[in-house]
Structure 1
Amino acid sequence: MSWFASSRPSFLFLNPTRRRFSLSFKLRFPRDQQRLRNVSLQSEGVPSFREQIARAIPVQSFADVVKHPMIGKHIIFVFGASALVYVVAAHNTNIETKLWASYLVNQKHWSTAAPTTGDMRFAQAQILLKKFQAQLTALTGSLADAPIIAKSVILHSYARLAEMYLNASEGRRAGYGIAALNVGIWIAWQIPVIRPFMMSHFTHHPLSGKTYTMLTSMFSHSSFIHLLFNCMALTSFASATSTWMTREQVHASSHLRESTATYHFLALYLSSGLFSSLASHLVATRVIYPRLVSKLVQPPGEQGTAGLIHKLSSTLSSAAKSSAGPVTETATATRTILPSLGASGAIYSTVIVSALAFPDAEVSLVFPPTPSFPIQYGVGGLVLLDCIGVLRGWRLFDHYAHLGGAAFGALYYMYGMRVWDGIRVHALKSDNTKRKI
C-alpha cells in the first residue's frame, strides 16, 4: 500500500492557482518608465489640469447669450407688401377708370365731352340698380309657389338690403366686404378642431419669427364683442375716409379721373394694419423683451429664486401657447409678450383721417348710448386713453398698435394723397410704355 501511495501523480499536490488553462503565452508590453518619468506635460504642449483651472476663460452672461428676435424681415415685409398693394391698387384703378370712360363715350346719348369722375360713378350706380331689380324679379318668380308670409318676408328683406347697399358709399361697401371676411374667420375660431391652426396662423406673436401673421391677424377676432365693435367702427369711418379720398382726388395735381375709390381704400386699410402691427412688434421685441431678459438675469437675492423660475416658466409657456392654445383677451402680470390679433390699428387710421378731414363732424357711442359730441373730442379721448395705457402698462388692448395706427392715419392725411396720385401717374406711364412696346 505504501508503494501505491508513493506512485500517485505529483500534479494532485500542486497549487491550483498556478495551473495553466490555455496554451497562450503571457505577453508583456514594453514600458519605458524612465522615459515617461522624464517627459513633462509641458513639453508635449498639453496644459495640466491645474493650469486649465487657473486659466482665465471669459464667460458670457445670460443677457449676452440670448439674442434679440429678428426685426429686419418684418420691416421688409411690411414696407414691401404695402408698396405692392399700392401699385396693384393704382393699376386696377387706372384700368377700371379707362373702361368706364370708354363705356360712357360709346353710349348713344353721350356728348363729345370727356366723362368726369361723377359721371362714371353715376353710371355705375344706375347699372347696379338695374342689376338689383333684375335679381329681385328673378327671386319673385322663384318664390311664386311659396307661402305668402314667407314670400313677403324674403322679398322685403332683400329689397331693404339692396337699398342699403345701393345707398352706401364705396368705402362702406368695402367695409361690408371686410366685415364679411372677419365674420368668416371668427366662425372658424369657434371650431375646436382647427383652433390650434387658427392660433398659429391667424395671430401674430413677436417671438414666433413669422411675418405673414402680421397680415392674417388683421382679419382675426376670437370674441364676438371684439368682432362686433370693430365691424361697426369700420363701416362707419370707412365711409368718411372714402368720401375724403374722392374729394381730394378731384383737386389732385395730376387731375386724373377716378371711377372708384375702393382700391385706394383697401390699400390704405391693409398698409395701415401692417404698420400698426409692425409698431407693436418693434415695441415687443426691442423694449419689452430686453426688459424681460434683464429681469431674468437679476441675482436670485433681488427677486427670489421662486419668482425667477415663475417668470421664466410663464414667459416660455406664453410663447408656446401662441401656436397651440386659446387666445386670452387679458394678460396677467407675468405674461408680458402675448399674441395679438384684430383690426383695431387699421380702424384707428380711418378714425384719425375722418377726424382730420371732417373736424366739424359729430359722433356718438352705440354702447353705452351717448348723445352726439364732436369727433375731435372723441378721437382725442381715445388717443389719450391709449397713451395712459402705455404708461400704466395696461394689457387689456394692444395700445402700441392703436397708437401706431393713429400715427399712420395722421401721416396719411398730410402726405397720403400726394403719394397715391404719384403712384397712379407712374403706373399710367408704365402701362402706356408697355403698350407702345
Structure 2
Amino acid sequence: MFLVMRGAFPSCFLRLRASTRSFQCRGFKQREAFVPKLEQRFRRDDPRVNKPPSVRSLARPLLFTVGGSAVIFGGAAIWQYERIRARISSTLLPSWQPEKRGELRRQIFHWWNSLSDGKKITAGIVAVNFMVFLLWRVPSLQGTMLALFTSSPAKTSPCMPMLLSVFSHRAGAHLAFNMLALWSFSGTGERLLGSEHFLAFLLSAGLVSSMASYAAKVAKATAGPSLGASGAIMALVGLVCWQYPDSRLALIFLPTFSFPASYALAGVMAFDTAGLLLGWRTFDHAAHLGGVLWGIWYANWGYSLIWKNREAFVTRWHQLRTGQRKGGREP
C-alpha cells in the first residue's frame, strides 16, 4: 500500500506492506542463492534460535531497552549541549572553508549544506543501512551478520542485536521502501523534536519495537529472527500522525482519493493488532505495533517525562565539562 501524505508536512510515500522486520515476509522473487540455505541453517541447525525462549529470557533485553534508551537520550542531551557551545564559539570566531574544486564536488557540497540538521542525520542513517545491506552480500560474513544483525530472544547474547538489527535489511526492496518512508517523515519529525532529540527518539523506538517483538515471540514460544527499521519508522509515523491527525493521506495510485492521517493510523494499528492476535506470520506485527504505540505514548507523555527533564542532567554535565563545582565558581 503506497500512501502519500499531504497537508501539515511535505508529501511522502509509505510502503507499509514491504516495511517489515521479519524474515518470513520476503515475497521477492529475485533472491541470492545462498539466502534460503542460510535461513534453513539459522532456523533448524542453530540451537540458540530453535530453543523456545522463556519469560526469564526477557529480563536482560528489558533492562537493555530501558538502560539503552536512557543512555541514548542522555547522549542526545549532551550532544545538543556541545553543539550549542560549538555554535556560539563559531559565531565569535567564524571559520573559513576553502572553495571546493570541481563542479561535482561543489554541487554535492551545496546540496549537503542545504539540508537541515535532521535531514543530515537521516542521510547518515540511510548510509549506514546501505552499508549493512552491502555486508549481507558478502558470503564470508553471513555468520557474523546472522549473529549480530538479526534479533531473537533465544540468542545467547540477545541485547546488542536489538539495536543493530534496526539498521539491517537483506532485500533491496525492503531497504528502499523503509528508507523512503524514513526520509519522507524525517523533516516533520525534526521540526517536532529537534535534530538531536529526533535521533534519540528513533534509536529508542528501535529498542522498544525489538522488545515488543521479543515479548510476542516468548508468548508464542517462537524464536524466528527479525531485522529491519520498520518498527522505528512506525514509531515516527505514529508520532507524526498523532500530532497532525487532520493531514491528508492518499494512495499513490489514487491521488484524488484522500483520507485523514488519523484514519490511516487507526487502520495500521487495527491491522497489526489483528495480525498479532490471529498469528499472521507475514510481518512482525508486534514490532510494528510496539513502534506505533511508542510514538503515540511519546507524543502524549514521553516528551514531558524524558526530554523536558534533561535540565538537571545537562547542568551536571556542564559542571563536569567546565570544572565547575556545585556552589562554587568556574576556575
5 Å matches for 1:190-209? 190-209=137-156
Q: CA deviation at 1:98?
A: 2.4
The 2-side partners of 1:274 and 1:347 are apart by 12
Choose from 53, 60, 65 the match for 1:78: 65
- Which ranges in structure 2 are unaligned for 5 or more consecutive residues? 1-52, 326-331
CA change 1:204–1:238 in 2 (3 A) is same
CA change 1:179–1:429 in 2 (3 A) is same
Partner of 2:20: none
Question: Match of 1:436, SS?
Answer: coil
Q: CA deviation at 1:82?
A: 0.8
Q: CA deviation at 1:167?
A: 3.9
Q: CA deviation at 1:171?
A: 2.3
Whether 1:421 aligns to 2:303 is no
Choose from 89, 111, 119 the match for 1:172: 119
CA change 1:69–1:370 in 2 (3 A) is farther
5 Å matches for 1:342-421? 342-366=228-252, 370-371=255-256, 372-418=258-304, 419-421=306-308
Partner of 2:205: 272
Choose from 313, 316, 324 the match for 1:436: 324
Q: Is the 8 A contact 2:57 2:153 kept in 1?
A: no
Partner of 1:253: none
CA change 1:365–1:183 in 2 (3 A) is farther
Amino acid corresponding to residue 436 of structure 1 in structure 2: Q
Q: CA deviation at 1:426?
A: 1.4
Q: Is the 8 A contact 2:58 2:153 kept in 1?
A: no
Partner of 1:230: 178
The 1-side partners of 2:296 and 2:200 are apart by 16
The 1-side partners of 2:225 and 2:146 are apart by 9
Q: CA deviation at 1:349?
A: 1.0
Map Cα deviations across residues 24-73 of structure 1 (whole Å, 9 max, x no partner). xxxxxxxxxxxxxxxxxxxxxxxxxxxxxxxxxxxxxxxxxx96551111
Question: Match of 2:169, SS?
Answer: coil
Q: CA deviation at 1:217?
A: 0.4
Partner of 1:144: none
The 2-side partners of 1:262 and 1:68 are apart by 37
Question: Match of 1:222, SS?
Answer: coil
Larger Cα-atom Rg: 1
Q: CA deviation at 1:370?
A: 4.2
Amino acid corresponding to residue 397 of structure 1 in structure 2: F
Across the aligned residues of Structure 1 and Structure 2, the Cα RMSD in angstroms comes to 2.4
Q: CA deviation at 1:360?
A: 3.0
Partner of 2:10: none
Q: Is the 8 A contact 1:390 1:400 kept in 2?
A: yes
The 1-side partners of 2:284 and 2:118 are apart by 25
Choose from 93, 97, 103 the match for 2:80: 93
5 Å matches for 1:14-413? 68=55, 70-104=57-91, 106=92, 134-135=99-100, 138-140=101-103, 154=104, 159=107, 161-162=108-109, 164-209=111-156, 210-245=158-193, 261-285=194-218, 287-289=219-221, 336-366=222-252, 370-371=255-256, 372-413=258-299
Q: Is the 8 A contact 1:171 1:240 kept in 2?
A: no
Q: CA deviation at 1:421?
A: 2.2
The 2-side partners of 1:428 and 1:193 are apart by 44
Task: Select the structure that is richer in strand.
Answer: 2
The 2-side partners of 1:212 and 1:351 are apart by 24
Map Cα deviations across residues 297-327 of structure 1 (whole Å, 9 max, x no partner). xxxxxxxxxxxxxxxxxxxxxxxxxxxxxxx
Question: Match of 2:280, SS?
Answer: coil
Map Cα deviations across residues 124-147 of structure 1 (whole Å, 9 max, x no partner). xxx8xx95x822xx124xxxxxxx
The 2-side partners of 1:358 and 1:415 are apart by 16
The 2-side partners of 1:187 and 1:413 are apart by 35
Q: Is the 8 A contact 1:276 1:346 kept in 2?
A: yes
The 2-side partners of 1:358 and 1:68 are apart by 38
The 1-side partners of 2:282 and 2:112 are apart by 35
Higher relative contact order (CA 8 A, sep 6+): 2
Map Cα deviations across residues 318-356 of structure 1 (whole Å, 9 max, x no partner). xxxxxxxxxxxxxxxxxx431000111110111111112
CA change 1:228–1:379 in 2 (3 A) is same
Q: CA deviation at 1:373?
A: 3.9
